[in-house]
Structure 1
């Protein structure tokens, strides 16, 4: 399958990514354990216009890796419309998460982690790098955020 859409400029890619962060409910979460064991799971998420918020049990491999490693790689889409986000993680216990975040997460996803018990912790991800491309022709210009700063329009 070949993409016949015109190549997107930087501004369009940024708008497209921000739109997907607002609209999509699940994101692929990639972490690694201390010994390097990789884990890849889908989790529901909330985008608050600055951070992504994830919630999972602190005792499962992904929760432990997010808490211990402090870094994560996230992915949206399929192989013909890719968004990769690298970020720094801050952990919040169930009693520490801002109420407005928990409420917005529940409204967006239909799941209320606050009612799921104390094992569920929140992970705020500050994006530090974002890449976005539709197939090979868009590989050039795919870096639309570096060092936490969105790229300017090309």
Structure 2
């Protein structure tokens, strides 16, 4: 039996893709985090839990892990959310936030949402607050041309 390609749904207007992106960030708990090793430049890709506060993504990982070291050294990061036919890509700058400097309600929200509380660990697990500079979203090829939803930290208009 031969599969026949299906016709993709029509491309969503940018406003709808922004709404869908914000809903995904509110709904998801885990994302892929891409960095480059600070010593070798080798790419690193790991899944991490996160919390979205409406403006930034809050992550946590061991300070000694390759991802933690890269975030401390460079700050630049790419995050990927969703499936390959409903993807959101976020490029941003990560700021290191020590657990002691995180507002208690933020730490509580992170722990409740992700089921993981870095504050309870003996190993240093700082938080990383990622401020998006670019956000892209698409489902099918027909949305690729207008995939940018945010540039230079500013949401784009239709």
TM > 0.5 fold call: yes
1:97, 1:61 → 2: CA distance?
Answer: 22
**Rg (Cα) greater in structure:** 2
Match of 2:36 in 1: 32
Paired residues of 2:33 and 2:78 also in contact (CA < 8 A): yes
Gapped runs of 5+ residues in structure 1? none
> Under a length normalisation based on structure 1, what TM-score does the superposition of the two structures give?
0.94
Match of 2:9 in 1: 5
SS of residue paired to 2:67: helix
> Under a length normalisation based on structure 2, what TM-score does the superposition of the two structures give?
0.92
Render the CA deviation track for 1:17-58: whole Å, top value 9, x for unaligned: 100101100000000012211100000000011110000100
Gapped runs of 5+ residues in structure 2? none
1:5, 1:106 → 2: CA distance?
Answer: 38
Alignment size in residue pairs: 153
Shift of 1:117: 2.5
After the TM superposition, which parts of structure 1 deviate over 6 Å for at least 4 consecutive aligned residues? none
Paired residues of 2:32 and 2:48 also in contact (CA < 8 A): yes
Match of 2:103 in 1: 98
Cα RMSD, aligned residues only: 1.2
Match of 1:70 in 2: 75
Paired residues of 1:70 and 1:90 also in contact (CA < 8 A): yes
Paired residues of 1:94 and 1:118 also in contact (CA < 8 A): no
Paired residues of 2:11 and 2:143 also in contact (CA < 8 A): yes
